[in-house]
Chains A and B, each alone.
Chain A
């Protein structure tokens, strides 16, 4: 049986700079995959390529056996790929509820419903359930631009889930969060696991990633350097060196 998502020999070049260098790995149905590596390892670039924000320079992304590498972004979204950003990018001038509603494009193929079904009760109800689950029900009419940091992060997740995706990529969802907030976030992520086929989580918080992930992929300098169970991978000397090396370089 083939994996749900197969990434094969993916390359991404930015004017001579190699951001992704022959990246290959699989993600299986039901898996929560942790994607880690030092800053600049290419993790976010990988998400950007898979979600269609960047075009791949070479290589293939297979989704359920279909080559989706060169599909436009919105079609990838309609095929069930959703992602959040490392730096929050909500629709700041829209309400919290509208941020969720706008991401629900299930009727996109039906122009008249698109035009006239503005705030149909069942859509709003579905959006409100999502807001409830991420703890934002009380903020439904607030402008997204006015949310506190932790709230904005959770709204990003609710918005990503509004289109009923099958694959969710979370790019450092706990970045900048305090311990309590990241515990709440871990609970939110766990509560959505059963509804998604795949979650790929980029995270620097090793405790969080060890706790949530089934498997880890470690990247460094655009390459995959280790794949495996969290406990094994985190004990791998090459992984430790990549992290330590990065810290030395940072320091």
Chain B
């Protein structure tokens, strides 16, 4: 039972990490928070529901969520961030992206209603499981874990090893200098929003597939929790978001296991306040975060 709960925690944690990495990627490059991110994640679940309802396979549903949410990321960059590039515009961009998220939420409620919408998964798939070291694991959960880990590893490689990654890091350090060396800063920022939102979309679709339904409050509940996880891990730090996501996922699972389920949600926020007080750069940040340097 304990192993199963820990695995559940890791699966959930990998989804938190996937969302948190999107927040932190945008923050690292722009020094701004994208408050539409949680709702874009939420929308990924509805894309999965709609795709499966129209006969799409699970992998195709994940791909469609990735594409649709990536496109939303480009849209939010265009309307809520493009004009507010300067450092004085933090609040403007935050408010505008927050409004963008609320509009998206409202549209989803208009289209699908406010109640959760079930996703029609084949029964065989839902109950499929494999045994490993004497413990049964659901195939769906393991597949979600693998997808999340592969995406995050691919992102890590892209940032650390590719030309694009170097350009992203250059813009993160200084957009002006990056432009002086021929980097199209606007294009790089678009790509950052595309990647961050596509990952959130996959996380949303994966959550819907795992729980069996898409719910419109997850943008507020889980989306905001991922924001806390980003702060816990260190703002702008991809590794911190990854470790923070897993940590919180396992913490919550164990809290449920031991009968402290009610405190799990508040626990994350208390933990964030605590971490920010004693270690404002985040738990795992190797370097001082931008916030702490300012």
A residues neighboring B (CB under 8 Å): 51-53, 72-74, 77-78, 82-83, 85, 89, 91-94, 98, 101-103, 105, 107-108, 113-119, 159-160, 162-163
**Which bracket fits the contact residues of B?**
20 to 34
Residue of B nearest to A95 (CB): B166
From known contacts A74-B185, A91-B174, A119-B161, infer whether A53 and B180 are also in contact, taking CB-CB under 8 Å. Answer: yes
CB-CB < 8 A to A115: which residues of B?
158, 162-164
Residue of B nearest to A85 (CB): B177
Residue of B nearest to A111 (CB): B164
CB-CB < 8 A to B211: which residues of A?
none
Q: List 16 A-B contacts (CB under 8 A).
A: A73-B180, A74-B178, A74-B180, A82-B180, A82-B181, A85-B177, A91-B173, A92-B173, A93-B169, A93-B173, A102-B183, A108-B183, A115-B162, A117-B162, A118-B165, A159-B181
B109 at the interface (CB under 8 A from A): no
Residue contact B287 to A93, C-beta cutoff 8 Å:
yes
**Contact residue among A77, A92, A107 (Cβ-Cβ distance under 8 Å from B179):** A77
Least distance between B285 CB and chain A CB atoms (Å): 12
- Residue with the highest number of chain A CB atoms closer than 10 Å, among B163, B164, B170: B163
Least distance between B166 CB and chain A CB atoms (Å): 4
CB-CB < 8 A to B165: which residues of A?
118
B221 at the interface (CB under 8 A from A): no
Residue contact B161 to A118, C-beta cutoff 8 Å:
yes
Q: How distant is the Cα of A113 from the Cα of B163 in the complex, in angstroms?
A: 8
From known contacts A91-B170, A94-B173, A102-B170, infer whether A74 and B179 are also in contact, taking CB-CB under 8 Å. Answer: yes
CB-CB < 8 A to A163: which residues of B?
181-182
Least distance between B43 CB and chain A CB atoms (Å): 26
Residue of B nearest to A108 (CB): B182
Residue contact B173 to A77, C-beta cutoff 8 Å:
no
CB-CB < 8 A to A98: which residues of B?
166, 169
CB-CB < 8 A to A77: which residues of B?
179-183
CB-CB < 8 A to B162: which residues of A?
114-118
**Interface SS of chain B:** helix
Residue contact B169 to A73, C-beta cutoff 8 Å:
no
CB-CB < 8 A to A103: which residues of B?
181-182
CB-CB < 8 A to B178: which residues of A?
74, 102
From known contacts A74-B179, A77-B179, infer whether A117 and B163 are also in contact, taking CB-CB under 8 Å. Answer: yes
Residue of A nearest to B160 (CB): A118
Least distance between B243 CB and chain A CB atoms (Å): 19
CB-CB < 8 A to A78: which residues of B?
182
CB-CB < 8 A to B174: which residues of A?
89, 91
Residue contact B181 to A53, C-beta cutoff 8 Å:
no
Residue contact B181 to A105, C-beta cutoff 8 Å:
yes
Residue contact A52 to B161, C-beta cutoff 8 Å:
no
* Smallest CB-CB A-B distances: 7 pairs: A105-B182, A103-B181, A73-B179, A77-B182, A118-B161, A118-B162, A102-B166
Residue contact B184 to A102, C-beta cutoff 8 Å:
no
**Contact residue among B161, B180, B183 (Cβ-Cβ distance under 8 Å from A51):** B180
B176 at the interface (CB under 8 A from A): yes
Q: How distant is the Cα of A77 from the Cα of B183 in the complex, in angstroms?
A: 8
CB-CB < 8 A to A74: which residues of B?
178-180, 182-185
Q: How distant is the Cα of A93 from the Cα of B236 in the complex, in angstroms?
A: 13
Residue of B nearest to A94 (CB): B169
Least distance between A164 CB and chain B CB atoms (Å): 10
**Contact residue among A52, A83, A89, A101 (Cβ-Cβ distance under 8 Å from B166):** A101
Q: How distant is the Cα of A83 from the Cα of B176 in the complex, in angstroms?
A: 12
Residue contact B169 to A89, C-beta cutoff 8 Å:
no
**Contact residue among B158, B163, B167, B179 (Cβ-Cβ distance under 8 Å from A52):** B179
Least distance between A153 CB and chain B CB atoms (Å): 15
**Contact residue among B164, B176, B181 (Cβ-Cβ distance under 8 Å from A162):** B181
Q: How distant is the Cα of A159 from the Cα of B161 in the complex, in angstroms?
A: 18
Residue contact B177 to A91, C-beta cutoff 8 Å:
yes
Q: How distant is the Cα of A114 from the Cα of B185 in the complex, in angstroms?
A: 14
Q: How distant is the Cα of A114 from the Cα of B177 in the complex, in angstroms?
A: 19
Residue contact A89 to B161, C-beta cutoff 8 Å:
no
CB-CB < 8 A to B169: which residues of A?
91, 93-94, 98, 102
Least distance between A50 CB and chain B CB atoms (Å): 11
Residue contact A53 to B161, C-beta cutoff 8 Å:
no
CB-CB < 8 A to B166: which residues of A?
94, 98, 101-102
Q: How distant is the Cα of A162 from the Cα of B170 in the complex, in angstroms?
A: 15
CB-CB < 8 A to A114: which residues of B?
162-164, 167
Least distance between A49 CB and chain B CB atoms (Å): 13
Residue contact A102 to B181, C-beta cutoff 8 Å:
yes
CB-CB < 8 A to B164: which residues of A?
114-115
**Contact residue among A94, A108, A117, A159 (Cβ-Cβ distance under 8 Å from B184):** A108
